[in-house]
Amino acid sequence: MSRDHQSNDVRRQFEGRPRMVGDRTASELDYDVRSPRTRYNPPEPSYYGPNFKDIELGRRGSCPERKDAKMPNPYVKRPNPYPYNVRKEYDDYKHWDRQYTEVRDQCTLLISRPDWMEEAGPVDSVQEEIALAQEARRTANQAAARRSGFDQKYPYAYENPQAKENHRGRVNQLLRGVRWHAQEVSVRQHLENEIAVSDDVSESSFTTRSLSPSDDAE
């Protein structure tokens, strides 16, 4: 049998058979089910911080040594817009920030009233001041923790680097507020003990310190 007849026989054997991806005589594009867009577009970069990769992958989070995220150059906000989970955590730290501001303002208003001690009396007034200082400390601590956690988890979720710095500056303000109000609780509790053992407590004792830190600006 001639070589040409053998070649024709081989071709007839393979005619009509489905070609496989491994058949290098066919174009691989005939068998690639991916569209050109999904085939060549790289995945979107992650918006999670380096300490939250396990959570992003659906695994339980661990407690590794804290790592700061490297800022991209040029900086690009991501995610943008916020998905549901990011928006929820954003709203959460904003809520606690507002809660602290409200309590702090109550502290400022209370201590600024000249007739407060006369109306409430020494015991009731100092107890009210203690309660407000404790609530201010609690809400400041919650707001600081949630703001700091948001920054670590979503380090690129800001309009620009300056907005990120402002966010961190607010965390520092809140932490100063925590320390300040903790001191106020201690001062007022000491004063409460003095009142319990003495009927002669000068009014100046109540006004030596403010319930609200002076540098705790928005």
What confidence category does residue 49 fall into, taking pLDDT thresholds of 50, 70 and 90?
A: low
In this predicted model, which residue has the larger pLDDT, 139 or 64?
139
Span 80-129, pLDDT tens digits: 999 999 999 999 999 999 999 999 998 888 777 766 556 556 667 778 88
User: Taking all residues of the chain, what is their mean pLDDT, rounded to a whole number?
Assistant: 74
Each domain of the chain, given as residue ranges in start order, spans 84-206
In this predicted model, which residue has the larger pLDDT, 175 or 17?
175
Residue 130 CB neighbour total at 10 angstroms: 19
CA distance 142 to 136: 10
Residue 40: pLDDT over 70: no
What confidence category does residue 158 fall into, taking pLDDT thresholds of 50, 70 and 90?
A: very high
Is this model's pTM higher than 0.75 or not? no
Span 183-214, pLDDT tens digits: 888 888 787 777 766 655 554 444 444 555 65
Residue 56: pLDDT over 60: no
- In contact, 136 and 100? CB cutoff 8 Å: yes
